[in-house]
């Protein structure tokens, strides 16, 4: 279990029993995106936002989230077309230090990519969050992921404007916001060339009905806008890949 000879993984099986397995073997065979948290998120008195659930548009299921910072990163990953699965704290990694002491760490977030690889991530509220222990664990978990062709990242908070925009669009991520059959093609057609949001919505029909569909299309990137600027009724919206950057920087 030392870092020179490998890592161990601990996770819960389908009936809730803890399983310990060689990390390289578990990574090859275990669908971590299907698993519940191996340990619960802590409730910290005094914090304005505690553990909760995030409904994923990618999977149609809830993902455990431990903080507001983690929820924001879940939004980023849930919007990424390369992500196929998400889970909160599904695995604990174990390893030995040079002096033989066993160390462990539970990354906050797991994402499965379309090519089968995985991402383990933590979502600190600021670069120094967690102190020296978190930084040393990050080094170890990064090494474990590199061994199997995965990635580990500490995902830092988004800037205020893209975070607020993403939160707004996330409110329209559910399929119900696509509205009646036939409306979404009309919405996409209305923005076949870049134009102000309110003008395109009016061209597609009644803005009261159309705007939720426009926001749904922006979430799923059927349409694009610049999320680095505040959303408003005159913001330019255009077709996918028209040149108005729509991605956020949470995974940089």
What are 110's two structure tokens?
A: 């797991």
User: Residue 2: is its pLDDT beyond 50?
Assistant: no
Mean pLDDT computed over 97-126: 93
Band of pLDDT at residue 89, cut at 50, 70 and 90: very high
Mean pLDDT computed over 33-44: 88
User: Residue 252: is its pLDDT beyond 50?
Assistant: no
User: Residue 214: is its pLDDT beyond 50?
Assistant: yes
- Which of 99-108, 114-123, 126-135, 235-244 ranks highest by mean pLDDT? 114-123
The tens digit of pLDDT for each residue in 45-86 reads 776 667 889 999 999 999 999 888 999 999 999 999 999 999
Cα separations (Å) of 121 from 106, 126, 192, 232? 9, 14, 37, 32
Q: What pLDDT does 1 receive?
A: 46
Q: What pLDDT does 128 receive?
A: 81
Mean pLDDT computed over 7-19: 94
Tell me the DSSP string of 169-202.
Answer: HHTT-SGGGG-STTHHHHHHHHTSS-EEHHHHHH
Mean pLDDT computed over 156-185: 94
Tell me the DSSP string of 238-250.
Answer: EETTSS-----ST
């Amino acid at each position: 279990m030392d870092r020179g000879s490998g890592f161990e993984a601990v996770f819960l099986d389908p009936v809730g029993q803890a399983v310990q397995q060689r990390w390289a073997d578990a990574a090859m065979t275990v669908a971590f995106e299907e698993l519940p948290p191996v340990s619960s998120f802590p409730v910290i008195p005094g914090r304005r936002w505690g553990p909760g659930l995030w409904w994923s548009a990618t999977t149609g299921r809830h993902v455990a989230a431990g903080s507001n910072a983690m929820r924001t990163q879940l939004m980023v990953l849930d919007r990424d077309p390369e992500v196929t699965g998400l889970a909160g704290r599904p695995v604990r990694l174990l390893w030995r230090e040079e002096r033989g002491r066993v160390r462990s760490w539970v990354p906050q977030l797991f994402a499965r990519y379309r090519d089968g690889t995985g991402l383990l991530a933590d979502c600190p509220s600021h670069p120094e969050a967690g102190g020296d222990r978190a930084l040393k664990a990050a080094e170890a978990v990064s090494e474990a992921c590199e061994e199997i062709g995965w990635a580990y990242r500490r995902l830092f908070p988004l800037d205020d404007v893209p975070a607020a925009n993403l939160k707004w669009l996330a409110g329209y991520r559910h399929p119900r916001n696509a509205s009646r059959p036939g409306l979404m093609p009309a919405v996409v057609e209305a923005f076949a060339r870049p134009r102000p949001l309110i003008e395109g919505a009016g061209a597609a029909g009644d803005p009261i009905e159309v705007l939720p569909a426009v926001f749904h299309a922006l979430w799923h990137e059927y349409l694009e806008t610049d999320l680095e600027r505040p959303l408003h009724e005159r913001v330019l919206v255009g077709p996918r890949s028209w040149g108005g950057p729509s991605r956020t920087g949470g995974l940089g």
